[in-house]
Amino acid sequence: MSQIDETQIRSMLEAWAQAVRDIDMDGILANHTEDMVMFDVPVPLQSRGMDAYRKTWDLFFKYSKGGPDSFNLIEIEISAGDDVAFAHGILGIEQTRLRLTVGLRKQNGQWRIAHEHHSYPQEIG
Amino acid sequence: MSQIDETQIRSMLEAWAQAVRDIDMDGILANHTEDMVMFDVPVPLQSRGMDAYRKTWDLFFKYSKGGPDSFNLIEIEISAGDDVAFAHGILGIEQTRLRLTVGLRKQNGQWRIAHEHHSYPQEIG
């Protein structure tokens, strides 16, 4: 585990969350692999590639106005190797708590998000 | 990326899914880190550690009878570094399609699951 890599990934994820709060689409899309796979809260089951990923955010912003309560990283734990890493944590969106898992690969010395999984737990019974 | 590591992880995940189909709790719990963090389909938001992880399966088996249609890895993509890896894929549970993301760390030469995230996409609108 590398502390430098963990710090780089943490900063990148914080900047990504800030871009969501700012409704800054270029910032949201700035650090992904071209073939990234998204498991978003709403359907579809999965979205593949950056064009499909952008569409998931178009949908998100139909329902969210951004701002300070829209996408806060409340906790995040990062496991980073030399060129593969994953992170999981909890995002605050207004009064709700979203689970986030991210898979990352290092390309040309730069960490890139290759996978995101966003979900809410379901009430049962 | 190491092909050997990818093969080891794929085999381990296939064995884990088979253990779910067999309702074999020892098999399900055989390859995790002690501090693993689970994001399951139902509440709670997250479960930490192997005692809490086991409880998520007790709950699952209240609703599932195991068998061939209960937990099939339909597709899986693995990114493996030297000692950190992640995988994402789709599981078939009867007629439903579940998204699965797994984070792994290598401990004493053995890949261990340190994180699981299971979810269904939500219908909206």
Interface check B80 vs A, CB under 8 A: yes
Task: Determine, for residues B122 and A43 on separate chains, whether the beta-carbon distance falls below 8 Å.
Answer: yes
- Provide the greatest CA pair distance for chain A: 49
Give the 3-state secondary structure of residue A114: strand
Domain B3-119 fold is Nuclear Transport Factor 2; Chain: A, (3.10.450)
B121 touches chain A (CB under 8 A): yes
A90-112 mean pLDDT? 97
Spell out the per-residue pLDDT of chain B, length 125, in tens.
Answer: 678 999 999 999 999 999 999 999 999 999 999 999 999 999 999 999 999 999 999 999 998 988 999 999 999 999 999 999 999 999 999 999 999 999 999 999 999 999 999 999 999 86
Confidence of residue A125 (pLDDT cuts 50, 70, 90): low
B91 phi, psi to nearest 5 deg: -110, 135
Segments making up each domain of chain A, as ranges: 3-119
Using alpha carbons, select from A51, A50, A27, A53 the residue that is nearest to residue A39.
A53
At A24-80, the pLDDT tens digits run 999 999 999 999 999 999 999 999 999 999 999 999 999 898 899 999 999 999 999
A110 interfacial to chain B (CB closer than 8 Å): no
d(CA A50, CA A30): 10
A91/B contact by beta carbon, under 8 A: no
Confidence (pLDDT) at B125: 66
Per the document, the length of chain B is 125
> What pTM value is reported for the model?
0.97
Nearest beta carbon to residue A117 from set B44, B83, B119: B119
Closest by alpha carbon to B111, among B29, B22, B6, B39? B6
**Interface subset of A 4-23, CB within 8 angstroms of B:** none
Chain A contact present for B120, CB below 8 A: yes
